[in-house]
Structure 1
Amino acid sequence: MRRLAVPFLLAAVLTGCSSTEPGSPSAGNQNSPAPTTGTSAGTAPVNRPKAVDMKTLDPCSLITPEVKTALGIRLVNPREPLAEYGEGSKTCSNNYEDRTYSSSIYTLVNGGVDRLKRTVGEAKLTSLQIAGYPGYLTQREAVGGGPGCEVYLDANDGQLLLVNAIAGLGGDKATMDGACEKAKALANAVGAVLATK
């Protein structure tokens, strides 16, 4: 009985993969605009406002004068990249007028969402939309024991933009909810700028 079931199952699968619709294969309408979707790790298409190569992006360029004013950012400084984010990654640190939190922006060039789900753990990630980009939020205690919140934007196939906020000099005023509010606000602001790059 098993020997008969396998060929029928295989035939059913192959039938589902074929198409009998008329038409001819083409590269698409040459007059249509370029799609804004891509694939992440060869899976389903990812809908994003614009795919931006993180290897060519200066994350500090996402902090425009308007973003600084709107979010109360005092200082924006490039920092040494973190080797764990891949060859060619970049880092930008930001300090706020209210020093309760500080934040950083990182370009991750050595893996996209699939790698993020493996390294952080899918159960620890909350999906959200950030300025039109698929985003993922995770909470953790920062180095030194303060609250930290990270927001990852699926910015390009196999690449991510990471925005975090951690307890600064605020002491007891710094909370996990506060860190996540700062991280999401900054991620939304820089995500909107990213879409114009």
Structure 2
Amino acid sequence: MRRLAVPFLLAAVLTGCSSTEPGKPSAGDQTGSAPTTGSSAGNAPVNRPKAVDMKSVDVCGLITADAKTTLKIQSATERESPADYGEGTKSCGLLFQQPRTYGGSLYTLTNGGVDRLKRTVGKTTELTETTASGYPAYLAKNITEGSQPDSCDLYIDANDGQLLLVKMGPLIGVEAPLDGACELSKSIGAAVGTALATA
């Protein structure tokens, strides 16, 4: 049975990007690789490889040349991000090589962390705890009704009060299993998690 899922913030339409410009090579402005702790969820400290400020990260730069090759990403292009995602939010549209079945984007969320995620998405959509290259992460299947496409969203706990969202779903007009989008979200999450940890 399909459910109407309430999105974490403003729902994003999943479409492929037309630009073929590669992403920038750097990601974030913090140094060091020692694990860091924080209290993003307001309870126990959060163990991360590295806390990265989502307001300063080069979001397209998180898609490295190796990730492009491995995940068959043709381009990663910065584009406008919804204002509801917070001040200084950024977005990167991902265009995959042919045949194109799935599409999606990376988003930086700067106005709420895991605590807000659980109060919003977690009320209507099951959040599955997972990891992305050492970062705590939460996977949510968004099955929608109407014109919005279904998506599988991976929220990476990158910093206290901030998240990195990997949103993937079947392209409009393409019949493809949502589980495939979830596997893609997790694969991309692992790649960007590695880039965050070494930024």
| CA–CA separation in structure 2 for the residues paired with 1:181 and 1:72 | 14
In 2, distance between residues paired with 1:115 and 1:153?
Answer: 13
Distance in 2 (CA, whole Å) between partners of 1:145 and 1:109 is 24
**Corresponding residue for residue 154 of structure 2:** 151
1:144 Cα deviation (Å)?
Answer: 3.3
Aligned partner letter, 1:167:
P
Contact 2:76 2:92 in 1 (8 A): yes
CA distance in 1, matches of 2:90, 2:148: 25
Aligned to 1:110: 111
Q: Structure 1: how far apart are the matches of 2:34 and 2:189? A: 25
TM-score by length of 1: 0.78
Once residues 42 and 149 of structure 2 are traced to their aligned partners in structure 1, the CA distance between those partners, rounded to angstroms, is 37
1:168 matches 2:171: yes
Runs of 4+ in structure 1 over 2 Å off = 141-147
1:162-187 CA distance string (max 9 Å, x none): 00111126712x11111101111101
Matched, 1:187 2:189: yes
Indicate if the aligned counterparts of 1:99 and 1:169 stay in contact, CA closer than 8 A. no
Deviates more, 1:121-130 or 1:139-148: 139-148
* 2:34–2:49 CA contact under 8 A, matched in 1: no
Note the C-alpha offset of 1:42.
Answer: 3.9
Establish whether residue 87 from structure 1 lines up as the match of residue 90 from structure 2.
no
Identify if the C-alpha distance between structure 1 residues 127 and 34 changes in structure 2 by more than 3 Å, giving closer, same or farther.
closer
Deviations 1:1-42 (A, max 9, x none): xxxxxxxxxxxxxxxxxxxxxxxxxxxxxxxx9652122154
Aligned to 2:46: 46
* Aligned-residue RMSD, C-alpha: 1.9
Aligned residues with identical type, % of pairs: 55
The letter for the 1-side match of 2:64 is T
Distance in 2 (alpha carbons) for counterparts of 1:113 and 1:56: 19
Quote the residue 1:121 is aligned against: 122
TM-score normalised by L of structure 2: 0.77
Larger fraction in helix = 1
Match of 1:22 in 2: none
Structure 2 residue runs without a partner (length 5+): 1-32
- Whether the 8 Å contact between 1:101 and 1:170 is mirrored in structure 2 is no
